[in-house]
Structure 1
């Protein structure tokens, strides 16, 4: 026949658990120092579960431990240069992949490269212009008395040469515009076409200025 629960013998593991319970009661002010010392001595001399239960019978049940909150360090402010370098690295990798996929030279802009922006290139007396574009726009300005021929590929972008490529004859000097890149545009303009755009832009702002002044 098994002995009663209170007569089962205990070891140091049970004594430590009871001692922790007594120490918690003392820290909470439930036991005085004298009471804790007396019960602690009886705890380590206990032989059965009944001996240990007698020491904590009148104590309140132990409350759960307070949750531990760990303060996380404040995040450092983002570094704009790091962000720009990441964009540059991603864009460079994208352009390289597109170059391998479509056979487009990844870097081949000896005369001008537009990278996340806009720039203009003038041909003057040159017969060939080599430009590149990546998430931007390159404006190539050619003289009025030349005929233009384009080469290259702008993947996922545009190659505009409406007026500059639509006129000219075999006697005129030929200018070859080679444009390569991705996610951007190459815009070829005659000098007179560019002058008209500048004039239209000036008149637009001039008219708006005086319209606002009249109000």
Structure 2
């Protein structure tokens, strides 16, 4: 066994994560921080696009902190504080925060979410040689701020929102397109949908659907 192999298998980093901590349920923030480390590693050439796709898929399927640690064990960790929460309850009387994110995964296939459905505070969309469609035009918004974390690798993610909803973007295209038709709703109380993530040899598209409007900005199912 060569020296580099021994370094990768070294138990030193594992000792930093106590068994009790490893068994903790992973939060959306934990998954997002892990995905950010993988994205930076891809941009720096530390891992290939194939390795990145495999690991990111595992990130959003991980249930515990211990399942996330091996995915970045061989990568340098950035020395920065955890990002602040970007969402707040739209109507605290409807439902408390902390509900789990919804994961839509399309690998050599498709995944669709549309019709009358309750939009969670966070939705993770992952497309690898496949397509994900998210239609919010008939959805029920129970939070004012919604985050959609979209990752498209040799695939596509399409997002449709009502015309009177604010649409924002913090995504990036790497040999791909990340096209979000940013718009601000005239009503200050309108829901805000932020699309984040990245596209590699793929595409993420988000835009308002003409003729579709939320009739009640505080609609409840």
TM-score range (shorter-chain normalised) is: 0.3 to 0.5
With normalisation by structure 2, the TM-score equals: 0.36
With normalisation by structure 1, the TM-score equals: 0.37
Report which of the two has the higher share of strand.
Answer: 2
Report which of the two has the higher share of helix.
Answer: 1
